Amino acid sequence: MKGSSNYQTGRSYVLILLASMFFVAGLSRLGLGVAEVIADESRADAAETHSPSLPQLDDPGDLLTALQSRKAQLDEFEAALESRAQTLRDAEVELQRNMDQLVSAETRLAATLRMTETAAENDLAHLTSVFESMKPPQAAELFSQMDTEFAAGFVSRLRPDFAGEVMSALDPLIAYGISAVLAGRHARTPRQ
């Protein structure tokens, strides 16, 4: 009996060992199948995200033709990119030339404005000295004919003593208007 129980125990171990081996073999086949499916999906994803792939070739002799066709497509694409890059370079050069012309025109305009301002200031200084060379009643007569704001501009440039004499010779209503313009001229200027 003892031999029979050892036989059965040995048989049980062999059966367990065989069952384990079959189980492991099944798992490895399953794992290989899963790995193949994952690899196929990875290849499909890679093909979708990259540039168009070469067509499926039945005859290996068509490979050269397919590669030449693909090279021609890439050459075309490269030529288009180079043309576009050249267009951008040309536009950049044109833009820079326009900017240089604009800066030059702005410089000339600023110089012209400075000359104009200087000439206008010289004219105003000359007219002011002409008014100051007149007698106050004569100047008052001229100021009474001027627009109030225009007259106020000249009165502000006159020497204070002469301006006082001209203002006293003016009609009180005109003198008041000129004074109001002079007083309000800087009323809205910020104090700080």
- Residue range 31-50, pLDDT digits in tens: 666 556 566 666 665 555 54
Pick the range with the lowest mean pLDDT from 20-24, 56-60, 144-148, 164-168: 56-60
Residues contacting residue 185 through CB under 8 Å, at least 6 positions apart: 152, 156
- CA dist 32 and 105 (Å) reads 77
Pick the range with the lowest mean pLDDT from 56-70, 81-95, 123-137, 143-157: 56-70
Of the two residues 40 and 127, the one the predictor is more confident about is 127
Say which residue the tokens 């899963």 belong to.
34
Stretch (H or E) spanning 150: helix 148-157
pTM: 0.43
Stretch (H or E) spanning 55: none
| The dihedral formed by the CA atoms of 144, 146, 149 and 151, expressed in degrees to the nearest 10 | -70
Q: State residue 121's pLDDT score.
A: 86
Q: Burial, 81: exposed, middle or buried (Cβ in 10 Å; 0-12, 13-18, 19+)?
A: exposed
**Are 165 and 138 in contact, with CB atoms under 8 Å apart?**
no
Write the single-letter amino acid at 65. T
